[in-house]
Amino acid sequence: MDDFQPAGGLDDIAQSLEQSSLRCGTRLVDDAVQPCSGSAIPVIPAGAPVFMFSGQGSQKPGMGGDLLAVKEVREVFACASDVLGCDVADLVLNAEPEKLNDTRNAQPALCVLSVGIARVLMARGVEPAAVLGFSLGQVSALAVSGMLSDEATFAFVKARSELMAEAAAAHPGAMSALLKADEESVDALCERCAEGEVLVPANFNCPGQIVVAGAPAAVARAEAAWAEAGRRSSRLATSGAFHSPLMADAAAGLADYLKGVEFSEPRIPLVCNVTAAPLSAAEARDHLVRHLTSPVRFQQSVEALARSGTDSFVEVGFGGVLANLVKRIDKSATRACVQDRASFDGYLAAASATDSE
């Protein structure tokens, strides 16, 4: 997602999906994918917020810079700098766009900012009833849910970003957002246009927005066929075909890395991108590996949360794209994006006013 803007026109969609893979359609979950242990999202009380964590592509130089004056945010950045071996605050504040957009930098920077904002909200009494990441955002959710420590999360995002960058270089790919799309038609399109190459639905964003990923020529054929049918598409400025089989090398490397990582049971339910259901410690390794080659089910996750009573979503990160996607999925839900000091202060003031009523 690039400089998260409201998901409306083609430019907005291209920005909102950059370097993340999204898939949205009409079925809640593919028949072949089973929810984590058959678990269900617990009932969520009215008004209790769900934190959503922004995905790669939303990064922008200077993002969240005025929040670095807040103690909890500053402490998270300091922790990340120790783990990553670089000054993350300097990266966020001063890096040129080309440097920040590099997958190896964008993923850690966004993850650290999201965790920092979540920590300061929680320190002020805003406790999420559940957490939901968007692609990269699922890594941030691991820390906030309590499944990993902050240190382990930042080490994980470093390994993940490096593996994904290497896989993208070794297996070039492309991604394209298809508009006015439904899952059945996109499945048929991929089958027709693959011609022996990789071409798959990669992300479910919201009704009418599905992203496909695969070999550049296959994606180009899909775009041409979509245009012939009188529909529009938008090529995304990604460095690879994320959430597709072209990330298999990265998935294999991540599986090896995760052998040495221990997960705790989540203190706060984490809705898994792969299954749109709660993630357990026992399944974390498998699902985080599958995450790299499986579609992101954001729409289905929001729908599942809504069925469990969620009526308040707070995007914790930068740009506001996820909040705008929620608007297209569940128009009755309240939405907010906390990304800088003004939105942070405004959200706390609104929350305080609601509590006092």
Cite the active site residues.
135, 243
Which candidate, 146, 214, 141, 204, places its Cα nearest to that of 178? 204
Residue 331, classified by CB atoms within 10 Å of its CB into exposed (0-12), middle (13-18) or buried (19+), is exposed
Task: Report whether 346 contacts 72 (CB < 8 A).
Answer: no
Residue 26, classified by CB atoms within 10 Å of its CB into exposed (0-12), middle (13-18) or buried (19+), is middle
Tokens representing 176 are 């394209």
Tell me how long the chain is: 357
Q: Please name every residue paired with 334 in a beta bridge, in sequence order, or none if there are none.
A: 312
Burial string for 32-59 (b: 16+ CB within 10 Å, else e) reads ebebbeeeebeebeeebbbbbbbbbbbb
Q: Decide: helix, strand or coil at residue 188.
A: helix
Distance, CA of 24 to CA of 31 (rounded, Å): 15
Tokens representing 223 are 């775009």
Query: 């766009």: which residue's tokens?
Result: 97
Backbone angles phi, psi at 69, to 5 degrees: -75, -15
Backbone angles phi, psi at 249, to 5 degrees: -60, -40
Distance, CA of 204 to CA of 210 (rounded, Å): 5
Query: 């026109």: which residue's tokens?
Result: 9
Number of Cβ within 10 Å of residue 252's Cβ equals: 15
Tokens representing 129 are 């009833």
